[in-house]
Structure 1
Amino acid sequence: MKEFLDYTLIEYDNFNFKVYTLLEIIVVFFIVKLLLYIIKTGITKSTRFDVAKKYSVYQLIKYVAYVITAIAFFHIVGFNVSYLLLGSSALLVGLGFGLQNLFSDFISGIILLIDSSVKVDDVIEVDGLVGKVVQIDFRTTMVVTRDDKYIIVPNTDLTKNQLVNWTHNDILSRFEIKVGVSYNSDVNVVIKLLK
């Protein structure tokens, strides 16, 4: 058994990827998946939060878990994570200038998930677009219009621009529809037909 676990799958210079390393990665992956499932079940059963808050809390926990898992995978494989983080910080400074909009969308996504000014199932209006929020991710928010069109809105549009949240405090929302009839129409009949 020890010989099987010590068997080298990939060898390059000083890097050795052995069977037990692969097994460690698989075990960590399944532990993280199990923990996320338990956390999601616990959050779903919680009565302290509404549906939108539950979604936001789970999304934040999931993203943090993914980052920690990626760092753990690098550590298991044998990469020195401190050098990787140090090197990536210098690279990110250079990329930051070119990717300002992308980082702005990420920060806006975190703000939306934390402050809950816009939540899943809210009916919002941005730049004349009215739709129901289906999903909030770090970079974009998916909105379904009344015509069943899926619109992907950058999160900065939701935090920078003026936003009307029709259902921020209440599930019911009222829309105004203008109807024109001729002046000689019977008003009671028109009201009855509209109802």
Structure 2
Amino acid sequence: MSATVQQFLKAIAARRTIYALKPELPSNVSISDIQEVVQAIIKDTPTSFNAQGNRAIILTGDSHKNVWNSVVDAIEGESGKKRPTSARDEAYGSIIFLTDDKTTEKLQTDFPAWSAIFPSFADHTTGSAQISTWTAIELLGLGGHLQHYNGYVKAALPEGAIPQEWTVQAQLVFGTPAAPPGDKSYIENPVKILN
């Protein structure tokens, strides 16, 4: 196996959920670096019929804190507030992944025989963008965790921040790791070759 493939697989294996974050960036990383990574991944993630329906925005500073504060306030019961409070107080920012519903609807109109499965295709491609971004920002020295407070986050975004037809799919909360990730266990799950 080539060294390039080994490096790629090592990066995938090293990606972990890191909840213990500091609200800062590593000294050699700028928010422009993160924006460049996200932009490249949104651009190059494959989409059905090259529809390019993935979208993303990055929240930092007051925008990040205000959105997560609204999420905390919207959740009933103290146990449900733990993770969004951590996102608000311990992270530097959030990458909000979205899909453009108009893109999916156009595909459904243009290819009616496949209409029912285009929403699933949109889910697949946003998931690919999320994991690729998560792996890439960890290569920058950041830590992160993926959240799904989708409706709460969309309601909390400043008016006009995104078009109404964009659906929030996930939030990648990021910052400098405050502690290493925990160990990961694996199940037996062999990939078979059928001839």
Same fold, TM-score > 0.5, yes or no: no
Q: Which structure is larger by alpha-carbon Rg, 1 or 2?
A: 1
TM-score, length basis structure 2: 0.21
